[in-house]
Structures are given as C-alpha cells and as structure tokens.
Amino acid sequence: MSSIHINSIDLYATNGLINFDNLSSIEPLWGICIDKEAPYSPYSTCEWYKLWLTYFIKNNTARLLSFHDDNNVNIIVPLLYSKFKYRGIFISKYEPIGNVYSPIRNMAIYSNCSFIDNIDIVFEQIISNENKWDIIDICEVSNESNWFSSASEFFIRKGLDIREYDCYENCYSDCITGTSEGYFNNRSKSFRLSIRKNYNRLSKAGDISFRVITGVADCSDYYDLYSSIYSKSWKRRESIGLDFFPDMLRYAEKNNWLRIGIVYLNECPIATVFVVVAGKHAYFEKVAFDEEFRNFGAGSVCLYEMIKYVIDVDKVSVIDFLRGADEYKKHWVAKCRKRKGMMIYNNTIRGKYLSFVDNKIAPFVNNNKFLSNIKRIVVSTYKNAGNVE
C-alpha cells in the first residue's frame, strides 16, 4: 500500500444500545475488503460484527481500525477493548472481536493487499498509545496465510514480551471433489460400516426421512423445530448468546447460507444439524439429537445425510467442523489443525508483572504436582465463594 491513511472508529453501548452511525464512513467499503470466496467470510462481514456487538459488547469498547489508500479500504482491524481484573489486578486489554460463536477471530480483514507486508504498519498503530493497554491477546486466529511468525518478530523487535499458546483444534476436510460417495469411500471401512449399522438400527424402529431447511419459505417455524430437538439432547442450554442465536440463524438465512438438516423417524423429528454454506465452504455449527434415540445413532445419520447434501447439492470443496477436536469429528473429516494465540505484554508495570506471572510463575506452579494441587483447591474455594474473576 502507498499513501496510507489510518482511521479509528470507537463503538460502545449506551443504556444497552449501540449507535452504529459512526460506521457509515467505512461500511460501504467493508465489502471490498472481504474476499467472499475466502474461508470464514460469513464471519467477517460488517453485518456479522454489528450483530455480534449488539449482543456482546456489554461495557467494553469496539475499536475498528481501517488502513486505506486513496481508493479503497485495504485492511480493517476489528478490536475489542476491555478493562477487567486479571491475576489480581485491574488491567486494560485489546483482543480481536469474537467469542464462542466466532469460529475464528479476525486479526485483520483484507482481500486486495498482503497482510504480512503490512504487519508493521498495523501493529505499530495498535501499540502506539502505550498508556492505553497492558496486554494484547491475539487469540483464536486463523494462520493459513502464515502471518503469525511475522507478528511475533515485530513485537520482539519492539522489545515486548510475548507468549504463544494453543487455543483449540479445528477438524476439517478440504480439496473435496466429485460426489459424496467418493468422499465417504475415503473414510475408514470400519467407520462406513458403523454408519450402515446405525441406519439399519434406526430403520428397524420405523420410516426414516431427511429434510434440509434453508429458511422460512421451507418451514415458517424452523427455529422452533430446531429448538425442540436441541432441548431433548444431551447439550446444555446456551450459557451465553441465547437471544443471539436466533438472529444468527436469520443472518445466515438472509444471505442464503442457512442449512438446517432434520432427520425424522415416523415423521417425528429426532436429530438436527445447523450448517452455514458460503461459496465452497460448509461450516458445521451444531448437531443435536433426541436423547431417546442415542443408541440408534440418530446424530450419525443426520451428519451423514447433511454431508451428502452439501457435497452433492451445494458442491462444496471444504467441510469445516469449527471449534474443538471431539473424537467423533475425526471420523468424518480428514485433517486437524491448531488455532493459536499470542499474548503481548506492554512495558508498563502492570504489563511486566503479568508477563512475569504468565511466563515464569504460572508454568512453574503448573509443572509442580504439589503446587498445582494447592492451586486447584484455592481456585475451587474462591469460585465457590462467588469471587470468580
């Protein structure tokens, strides 16, 4: 990029409501920044961030940095700025916007330039006001373009302490071509046999059918249908985002990304899966089944039918199971990768203290069985007393 211009927009809630008028300067150009064929594009739109912030910003501040030349916004950096208690002291933190509803957090959104080539410019701007932050937590990010090492080198050159860590694993299959039959032929013979057994077991209980819902045109009460199955599953009621999830479904429906698969037994819904399909990517968000049919393999049948659908009908080339490496996921897809994080500590008194605790004290305690047990007891007692930080 040449002749770089940098804008900063702050968003925050007043009486629980956010005024998004400040976004008007970059919102029309946000779409230019997004590569619609790139992985996770549904979770990178301006609409997605507005939806997320509406429910989750709380008392924090969203800081959106835009880096642009005379024609386009080339890079957008969506950050959350928060103040909270950590390691016994009150601190200020920057992190990419997101939570468990975000399969990744975007450190930067861009399509018409190289993020690696502009890493110094981006992170120089973030750390420039050193009195405003104690730590930067670059968490749960995608590193497919291999920018992570360049970011690490930048912070080290700046004399800042860092700590890299693993966040979670992501199971997926890419480069899918041909039909679902060919895809499943590449799964293990024992796994294919288990699917067949589940089908046989379920068919003995009655008539099986499968349906895909893409919006209200297919089923006016699809959310209630989905929820009725989810409520009978082993999964707990959502601890956060209970009101966010229906709007997430509507967001997917509005953009023609919504796929809700339902397995019926004797016309009774017993299993469901929610998938976001955008371009060549299918993101498997949630799967659930009625506990009464656990021994019938209802969830397995539902996943099988939905994978067939997204490959044969939607023609996707990537199946992504998003967060977590649950054992069952590894049977359905071919690969697994780690999502990483990096903590950067400011050279302030609080930043140095946190660096020492995180990099020296915590590893020593965690690697010592006696001290680790004491820590576990203290933390448990502290939480039971209602003093969770």
| pTM of the model as a whole | 0.90
What integer is the mean pLDDT of 225-232?
A: 92
Quickly tell me which residue has 């009464």 as its tokens.
292
Phi/psi of residue 314, each to 5°?
-80, -15
Q: Which tokens go with 200?
A: 């046989």
| Selected residue with higher pLDDT from 308 and 234 | 308
Residue 1, pLDDT score:
47
Residue 238, pLDDT score:
65
| Selected residue with higher pLDDT from 172 and 2 | 172
In this structure, the number of other CB atoms found within 10 A of the CB of residue 39 comes to: 21
Q: What letter represents residue 252's amino acid? A: A
Phi/psi of residue 211, each to 5°?
-135, 140
Residue 382, pLDDT score:
55
What is the Cα–Cα distance from 279 to 318, expressed in whole angstroms?
10
Residue 342, pLDDT score:
96
Phi/psi of residue 250, each to 5°?
-65, -35
pLDDT at 84 over 60: yes
**Model confidence pLDDT, tens digit, residues 173-207:** 999 999 999 999 999 999 999 999 999 999 999 99
pLDDT at 117 over 90: no
Residue 35, pLDDT score:
83
pLDDT at 242 over 60: yes
Position 165 confidence tier, pLDDT thresholds 50, 70, 90: very high
Q: Tell me, which fold does domain 5-169+338-384 have in CATH?
A: Aminopeptidase (3.40.630)
For 187-278, strand residue ranges (E) read 208-213, 258-265, 268-278
Which of 91-95, 107-111, 329-333 is the least confident region?
A: 107-111
Positions of CATH 3.40.630.30 in the chain: 176-316
What integer is the mean pLDDT of 155-173?
A: 95
Question: Quick check: 244 and 56 in contact, CB under 8 A?
Answer: yes
Position 388 confidence tier, pLDDT thresholds 50, 70, 90: very low
What is the Cα–Cα distance from 106 to 115, expressed in whole angstroms?
12
Position 377 confidence tier, pLDDT thresholds 50, 70, 90: low
**Model confidence pLDDT, tens digit, residues 243-262:** 899 999 999 999 999 999 99
Superfamily classification of domain 176-316: Gcn5-related N-acetyltransferase (GNAT) (3.40.630.30)
Residue 146, pLDDT score:
84
Assign 226 to helix, strand or coil: helix
What is the Cα–Cα distance from 341 to 65, expressed in whole angstroms?
20
Question: Quick check: 171 and 333 in contact, CB under 8 A?
Answer: yes
What is the Cα–Cα distance from 302 to 259, expressed in whole angstroms?
12
pLDDT at 373 over 80: no
Cross-strand partners of 263: 210, 271
pLDDT at 387 over 70: no
Q: What letter represents residue 282's amino acid? A: A
Cross-strand partners of 169: 338
> For the chain, first and last CA: distance in Å?
42
CA-wise closest residue to 44 among 107, 109, 94, 91: 109
- Write down the mean pLDDT value for the chain: 89
Torsion of CA 366, 370, 371, 377, to 10 degrees: 100
Position 236 confidence tier, pLDDT thresholds 50, 70, 90: low
What is the Cα–Cα distance from 225 to 218, expressed in whole angstroms?
12
Residue 379, pLDDT score:
56
Quickly tell me which residue has 């018409």 as its tokens.
112
Residue 237, pLDDT score:
65
Quickly tell me which residue has 């200020």 as its tokens.
92
